[in-house]
Amino acid sequence: MAKIYDLLVKDVRFREGLTACMNCGICTASCPAAEFYDYDPRKICNLVQSKDEEKIVALLKSDTIWYCGQCMSCKTRCPRGNAPALVISVLRKLSQELGYFTESEKGRQQYAINRTIGENIVNIGYCVTVEKIVPKMHPEQGPVWDWYYQNAEEVVDRLGGNYMKEGPGALRIIPKESIDEIQKIFEVTGGTKLSNTIEHFSEDKANELEIPFNSAIEGNDYFNHVFTENSNQHQK
Amino acid sequence: MGMEIKKQYWNEYQKEIAQDDYFYERSCIRQTFFPGSEATFLNILRDELGKKIVDDPKIHTCTGIGYHSDIVPFDTTMTICARLFSLMNGAGLKNYVPSCVTSFGIFNEVLDTWKHYPEELEKTRVNLRKATGREFEVPDNIAHPSDIIYNFRKQLKLKMKYQLVNRKTGKPLKVVEHIGCHYSKIFAEKSIGGAEFPHVLAGMIEEWGGEVVDYPERRHCCGFGFRNYLVMANRGYSVANSKKKFESMKPYKPDFILTNCPGCAMFMDRWQYTIAEMEGTTYDENGKGIPVLTYEEMTGMLLGYNPWDIGMQVHQVQTESILDKIGIDYNPQDKYVGVSGMFLGEPEKPTNLVV
């Protein structure tokens, strides 16, 4: 296998996101994740710049790279125009490709995101739609959302939408031609491969942890485990 | 400092916004939670401003939420964006208008990458051709819908029935605005006012009679944080960031929160409900919370549109206080009526949040 650092540099976002970081720490000062979690983007940039293979592998297996919220405040503030959040994206990509993401609690959550947002994109053409925001999975949405969810077609169409029907408008059915082309794009560009990789390593981890795993979300203990597990060991 | 130098300085905070002939891309979150805002924007452009804007049923996600939660590779996102550009080309248009702030950031990131790394553009052309047989050209102009409303704010003012003024006191309504991280933090030069002097929403508020409240955490993230909301175990991050903003704005007693980004509008509404139910805290004096509006809703409301036709009833924090302060007539019996004219029943009442 190529050296980890060489794999990182292959990604254009890594070259764009990290050039001669001087470790001033303004990224950390402005970072919402650093305020909430035991997280420090300055240290991550410093570690990655060191090109220390062992430490980078440990980073890829840790919870640390999964704390970033991708708000990009770091890019705004960096005096050298770097973007630690882009570096994080590349680290996450590599962690998934190498199967390291299943070694951490926060990394294992990628399985749940792949099975929800990932499947929505290729099957219905959007990351979310009304029927995917199931109230029992989203208690924070409150009773107005419950009312909206129960009366979706009546409400959406009153508001100028075109709920689950053909033609233009909010929440219409996406034509088959578009869904087919989205799926072909995912196959050609590595989207399907990444999804399968996440699935494959997650199933291995489920077997290792002896947590039942299946292809559906309903009744999938491993999905529920990664979606809800919180060890509360993530704050400073 | 001479006026010419001043003008040059402020030019950095302006952007070019196409005047007409737009291609609209719907947002995953906006169309799901606030479909009335998207419809209102299209109605304003067509009916009030006489502009051409195409709403193509073949459009789809830009993958933004999947990309920023790292389950979609950048190559895939670039090629999906290229397909959307191809649809725009097919409609004979050159001005791209993504409804979502995340999408706005995605498209600017993709175009910036193609500008600085032409080999990525070539790779995307090959990928799109191989997958779909399509070709594409990049847009001449990308503007967020709020850029367009801002650009025409003076024309729209002439058509408005109401202003952001308290009818009883005659004083401007106090508004806190939140432009959304990906509107200006990734590419400040692509936004109005940049990250330091956010003016896209402030310009609307001031033009239409309101007062902008500049509170300490004005630029802080709403807390979405992509994977930090998508996974139930992580939502403490999301609500904690919103709470930080609410606590910062509370002392200024804002009449409402105005949002740019679909996600921010939803989170700043729902997290107020959640905090109220979890710990009994609300950020106004009456236990009702601070209402949150989208800029499309605010514009439609001032133009005199029926608030229940533009979606002001789908917020958990109730919006009637804004209507009452301005003096806008509305029919309470019409609030929970569907497209068929049928009364749909009322949502249950929360335990703590007053509705």
Closest-CA distance, B205 to chain A, in angstroms, reads: 24
- Domain boundaries defined on chain B: 22-145, 153-334
Q: Specify the pairing of strand B53-55 against strand B95-98.
A: unpaired
pLDDT at res. A1: 64
Q: Which residue has the tokens 């909010």?
A: A170
Structural domain contains residue A234: no
pLDDT at res. B4: 77
* Model pLDDT for residues B109-168, shown as the tens digit of each residue: 999 999 999 999 999 999 999 999 999 999 999 999 999 999 999 999 999 999 999 999
Q: Are B326 and B166 in contact (CB under 8 A)?
A: yes
pLDDT for B233 beyond 80: yes
Among A16, A118, A230, beta carbon nearest to B66:
A118
Domain identity same for A209 and A143: yes
The crossing angle, in degrees rounded to 10, of helices A53-60 and A41-50 is 140
Mean pLDDT, to the nearest integer, of B208-220?
96
Mean pLDDT, to the nearest integer, of B247-254?
98
What CATH number does residue A76 fall under?
A: 1.10.1060.10
Which residue, B204, B260, B194, is CA-closest to B15?
B194
Joined together, the tokens standing for residue B293 give 């509006």
Q: Are A171 and A162 in contact (CB under 8 A)?
A: yes
Domain identity same for A174 and A218: yes
Q: Specify the pairing of strand B211-212 against strand B141-142.
A: unpaired
pLDDT at res. B3: 75
* CB–CB contact A185 B131 (8 Å): yes
Residue span of the structural domain in which A79 resides: 4-100
CB within 8 Å of A92: residues ≥ 6 apart: A65, A66, A101, B70
Interchain CB contact of A117 with B (< 8 Å)? yes
Which of A79, A100, A121 is at the close of a domain? A100
Domain identity same for A78 and A185: no
* Model pLDDT for residues B138-151, shown as the tens digit of each residue: 999 999 999 999 99
- For chain B, give the percent of residues with pLDDT over 90: 94
CB within 8 Å of B354: residues ≥ 6 apart: B282, B286, B287, B288
Domain identity same for A117 and A206: yes
* CB–CB contact A154 B344 (8 Å): yes
Residues of chain B with Cβ-Cβ distance to A76 below 8 Å are 184-186, 188, 195
**What is the distance between the alpha carbons of residues B285 and B250, in angstroms, rounded to a whole number?**
10
Which of A72, A100, A128 is at the close of a domain? A100
Q: Are B164 and B175 in contact (CB under 8 A)?
A: yes
What stretches of chain B show up as alpha helix (H) in DSSP? 3-11, 28-33, 35-43, 64-68, 74-90, 101-116, 118-132, 145-151, 153-159, 181-184, 200-207, 227-230, 235-249, 262-279, 295-303, 307-310, 320-326
* CB–CB contact A127 B63 (8 Å): yes
Structural domain contains residue A236: no
pLDDT-flagged residues of chain A (< 50): none
Given the cut 0.95, state whether the ipTM is greater than it: yes
What stretches of chain A show up as alpha helix (H) in DSSP? 4-10, 12-17, 26-29, 32-36, 41-50, 53-60, 73-77, 84-97, 105-108, 110-113, 119-124, 142-150, 152-158, 176-189, 191-209, 221-228
Structural domain contains residue A61: yes
Mutate to test the interface with A, among B26, B65, B70, B320 (most CBs of A within 10 A): B70
Domain identity same for A179 and A203: yes
Structural domain contains residue A219: yes
Domain B22-145 has CATH 3.40.140.10: no
* Model pLDDT for residues B292-351, shown as the tens digit of each residue: 999 999 999 999 999 999 999 999 999 999 999 999 999 999 999 999 999 999 999 999
pLDDT at res. B14: 80
pLDDT at res. A236: 81
Q: How many domains is chain A partitioned into structurally?
A: 2
CB pairs under 8 A between A and B: 278
Which of A100, A118, A148 is at the close of a domain? A100
Domain identity same for A115 and A214: yes
Q: Are B25 and B96 in contact (CB under 8 A)?
A: yes
3-state SS, residue A174? coil
Domain identity same for A160 and A74: no
Domain identity same for A153 and A52: no
Residues of chain B with Cβ-Cβ distance to A137 below 8 Å are 232
Closest-CA distance, B321 to chain A, in angstroms, reads: 17
Length of chain B: 355
Architecture of domain B153-334: 3-Layer(aba) Sandwich (3.40)
Is the full-model pTM beyond 0.90?
A: yes
Q: Are B104 and B112 in contact (CB under 8 A)?
A: no
pLDDT for B62 beyond 90: yes
3-state SS, residue A51? coil
Domain identity same for A65 and A10: yes
Domain identity same for A80 and A153: no
pLDDT band at B286 (very low <50, low <70, confident <90, very high): very high
Alpha-carbon distance values, B203 to A190, B177, B252 (Å): 43, 11, 20
Structural domain contains residue A120: yes
pLDDT at res. B1: 60
Q: What is the mean pLDDT of chain B?
A: 96
**What is the distance between the alpha carbons of residues B29 and B335, in angstroms, rounded to a whole number?**
22
* CB–CB contact A194 B72 (8 Å): yes
Domain identity same for A90 and A111: no
